[in-house]
Chains A and B, each alone.
Chain A
Amino acid sequence: MNSAILAIIKREYLQRVRSRWFVAATLAGPVLFVGIAVLPILTTGSSEPGEIMVLDGTGELLSVVGPALEGAGYSVTTGDGEPSLEDWIQRIHDGEVFGVLQLDSATLANGDARLTVASSLSPIRTLALRQIVAQGTLASRLAAEAPETLALLGGGTLEVDVLDEEMEVDGADFLMAYLGAFLLYITLLFYAVAVMRSVLEEKTSRIVEIILSSVRPIELMLGKIVGVGAVGLTQLGVWAASVVILADIGLPRLVAARPELAPLAQFESFAPGADKLLLFLAFFFGGYFLYSSLYAAVGAMANSDQEAQQAQAPLVVLMVVPAVILPAVLESPESALAVWTSVVPFFAPVLMFARAVTGAASGLEVGVALMGIAATTVIVAWIGGRIYRVGILMTGKRPGVRELWRWVRAG
């Protein structure tokens, strides 16, 4: 690799990484992740349940409602003895304790109860408390009147017998396959289009003629693809690192410090293992080189943003197909549709990745898909490189298919 290519890679990389847009998008990723996945749980969990006094007029509900409240994070005080109710209400006023829950015969009859607190509660919190009271009351009455049905409250289990050899996709894998494939699709599209825009910008600003007086067209194209790809890897790297840090280090600590946030622990399964990261990387690499060489050619044959928009339409179709059939493929990753579409080189980056993550695709299938992508990339890059070479200095009407073929032969 010569110094000119390195300079082109460096420029392409630094210009992008330094841009405000890149910093914003890269930081927004983890923030969005936290925002969408973690924050709701964090906020509902973190508004301190606090101390609650239960005045049980029924004499039987406290034994079930009390533990349920404690399970939800409240610390429960009974109403008889110290402190007195007046003191307690004063402390509610002062914001030191949460409230008073009054249970009486009406509670036993139809689940009605009374709660005194300092300020109004969020609907979710109200619902959670009503749920605790209602469940407790139900359990208490069932225990008294029909103890044999009590087990029903637990919800029972559902044993699933699968007749076909169809594999079962475990929930976390499904989610990871879905989110991962989607992220792959978005980033591939985004960075391939970035290559196209960059080519187009050089062409329309005419800087390309200056560059090409010292660099071969194929070197410029390669430098650009590698530089933009490195930006993509940087961004994905930051995202992956922040997810791993959040899930592997941040989460256990948070849960250890605040036991009431235990529900968050489920997100630990979100942290992808090294094998899945590697899969993602492999398919990002393959897909990126494949699509970016196509998009580079599109950029070289267009003269304006509008022309490029039109010219890239066939490519967009190629890219959207896997995104559209992704749900169907994940639904039954071993169906004929899933197997065959996932080895098509243009669809493989998204679909084979998804199947591999669910465990439906064998190592052989993944290998075949990657080899297919590699072989297609070589062909596409050869054709794209030739179109690029001719197109980059060409102005005038956008070429038709026959014209393009002449470029390929002439290039």
Chain B
Amino acid sequence: MTDLAIRLRGVTKRFGGHVAVRDLDLDVPRGTICGILGPNGSGKTTSIRMVLGIYVPDSGSVELLGGEPDHAHRKRVGYLPEERGMYRKMKVMDHLAFIGEIRGVRAAEGRRRAGEWLERLGLSEWGDRKVEDLSKGMQQKVQFAATVLHEPDLLILDEPFSGLDPINQDVLETIVREMNAAGVTILFSTHLMGQAERLCRRVCLISRSRKVLDGNLREIRKAEDRGDVVVEFEGDAGWLDGPGIETASPVDDGWHLTLHANTPPRTVVERALAAGVELRRFERVAPRLHEIFVRHAGADAAGDAGRPAEARLPAEASTKDSQGEAALR
């Protein structure tokens, strides 16, 4: 048994003239939490679908849990697609039991587990109601329960947090962490850099169908650390536009500064004092994923992902459509 849950080598997928994923290598070791990060339309969903064998790559190889992405291996995976569908007319409990059944969980056992999950997610009383009676947030929680009902070894979540309110995002994050602690490998895609920073041990940054960077998040941040600092001060910000400071972007109450190589951080303090502003805070920080992404892919390539941490955009429906249309042209 290999120690990789997912192994992609040189994977390329074209839809007609459009290359959705180009020459992608990706290793996801067992037991980790790995995030695929990138703006909308950068190829995250296509990559995930190839991992699951829903799409067959035009070239390259895919290994899932040490084998082909075939039926037997897919049964060990819990997959939550970005566009989440449910049988609206089915009762919540029946729906969950059915999804479990097609993944090899006997109906009675599926119902038992579904009951536990509904209780945990605060939906105990909703088991006998029709799916369509649930609010959108509740439906999303039920979908998550359906994804994990068969106790998968690998959880693949495509934009799992989009559309959830902060409280339920926390609930979901906690569950994901717990499952990971219990040995489940987790791969999820997101365009929310902040979320990834909180949750991931490994990241894979994708931009315009290509991988930009991947590896252990802590190591990446260490390697990318060029002396970023956060400053908070009272007074005119004009002094930030000076030698040694590469970029300055506003955060919360202060500014996040990336410095040119060979610029010692204390220069910032000296310049602040020279400018006569009231310095309240000075802190050395590791670079955020956002800056790392921009550094490697360029600001315009970063697109949505380049936006400060929690920015949200509606789903990329139009991009999807044009992909589908182009599919076999």
Contact = CB atoms under 8 A, between A and B. Distances in A.
Interface of A: 3-4, 7-8, 10-11, 15, 202, 205-216, 390, 393-397, 403, 406-407, 410
Given A3-B104, A8-B102, A214-B74, A396 B324 contact: yes
A4 B102 contact: yes
B165 interface: no
B52 interface: yes
11 contacts: A208-B85, A210-B81, A213-B77, A214-B102, A390-B327, A393-B54, A395-B320, A396-B327, A406-B328, A407-B328, A410-B328
B83 interface: yes
B61 to A, nearest CB: 20
A207 B87 contact: yes
Given A206-B81, A206-B83, A216-B71, A211 B324 contact: no
A210 B89 contact: no
B145 to A, nearest CB: 12
A253 B40 CA distance: 74
A8 B87 CA distance: 12
Interface in B72-128: 74-75, 77, 79-81, 83-90, 94, 98-99, 101-104, 107
B322 interface: yes
Contact of A206 (B79, B84, B325): B84
A52 B309 CA distance: 98
Contact of A397 (B54, B74, B325): B325
Contact of B327 (A213, A216, A394): A394
A210 B146 contact: yes
A387 B324 CA distance: 14
Given A15-B90, A202-B85, A396 B328 contact: no
B104 A4 contact: yes
A3 to B, nearest CB: 6
B85 A395 contact: no
A383 B87 CA distance: 27
B327 to A, nearest CB: 6
A396 B324 CA distance: 6
A8, A211, A213 — which one has the most chain B CB atoms within 10 A of its CB?
A213
B101 A4 contact: yes
Contacts of B54: 209, 212-213, 393
Contact of B325 (A7, A208, A396): A396
A122 B85 CA distance: 60
Contacts of A213: 52, 54, 74, 77, 79, 81
B104 A209 contact: no
Contacts of B79: 210, 213
A210 B324 contact: no
Contact of A396 (B71, B146, B322): B322
- Rank and list the top 7 A-B pairs by shortest CB-CB distance, nearest first: A207-B85, A206-B85, A396-B324, A396-B325, A7-B101, A205-B85, A206-B83
Contacts of B80: 210
A216 B71 CA distance: 8
Contacts of B52: 213
Nearest to B98: A11
B321 interface: yes
B99 A210 contact: yes
Nearest to A7: B101
Contacts of B75: 214
A205 B102 contact: no
Nearest to B143: A210
A4 B86 CA distance: 17
Contacts of B328: 390, 403, 406-407, 410
B46 to A, nearest CB: 11
Contact of B86 (A205, A393, A395, A407): A205
Contacts of B84: 206, 210
A211 B102 contact: yes
Contact of A209 (B81, B94, B101, B102): B81
B86 A207 contact: yes
A67 B94 CA distance: 67
B102 A215 contact: yes
Contacts of A396: 321-325, 327
B87 to A, nearest CB: 6
A209 B327 CA distance: 17
A396 B223 CA distance: 43
A15 B131 CA distance: 13
Nearest to B69: A213
A3 B101 contact: yes
Given A7-B98, A395-B320, A214 B83 contact: no
Interface in B292-327: 320-325, 327
A211 B94 CA distance: 15
A202 B83 CA distance: 12
Contacts of B322: 396
A202 B149 CA distance: 20
A218 B59 CA distance: 24
Of A3, A208, A403, A410, most buried by chain B (CB within 10 Å of CB) is A3
A209 B324 contact: no
A209 B45 CA distance: 12
Given A214-B71, A215-B71, A390-B327, 18 more contacts: A3-B101, A3-B102, A4-B101, A4-B102, A7-B107, A11-B94, A206-B81, A206-B83, A206-B85, A207-B85, A209-B85, A210-B79, A210-B84, A210-B99, A212-B54, A213-B81, A394-B327, A396-B321
A206 to B, nearest CB: 3
Interface in B137-188: 146
B289 to A, nearest CB: 28
Contacts of B104: 3-4
A211 B83 CA distance: 13
Contact of A394 (B71, B85, B324): B324
A258 B328 CA distance: 72
Nearest to B78: A213
Contacts of B320: 395
